[in-house]
């Protein structure tokens, strides 16, 4: 859980202080990180 929190903090900082392409990349990476935690989606990925 700590690794997920650290990654979330880094992605939030990138989203908060980055320009448009960095914000888009942060949202995409966060979406993948969340998808890997959801049981049904985890089986498909």
What would the pLDDT profile of 5-44 be if each residue is shown by its tens digit?
888 888 888 888 989 998 998 889 888 888 888 777 667 6
With a CB cutoff of 8 Å and minimum separation 6, the contacts of 27 are 15
- Domain ranges across the chain: 2-44
Q: How far apart are the first and last CA of the chain?
A: 20
Q: Residue 30 in contact with residue 37, Cβ under 8 Å? A: no
Query: DSSP 3-state helix, strand, coil percentages of the chain (rounded to 5)?
Result: 90, 0, 10
Identify the pLDDT of residue 16.
87
What pTM was estimated for this model as a whole? 0.69
Report the alpha-carbon distance of residue 36 to residue 3 in Å, rounded.
13
């Amino acid at each position: 859980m700590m690794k997920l929190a650290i990654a979330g903090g880094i992605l939030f900082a990138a989203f908060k202080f980055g320009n448009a392409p960095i914000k888009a990349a942060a949202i995409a990476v966060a979406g993948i990180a969340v998808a890997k935690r959801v049981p049904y989606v985890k089986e498909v990925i």
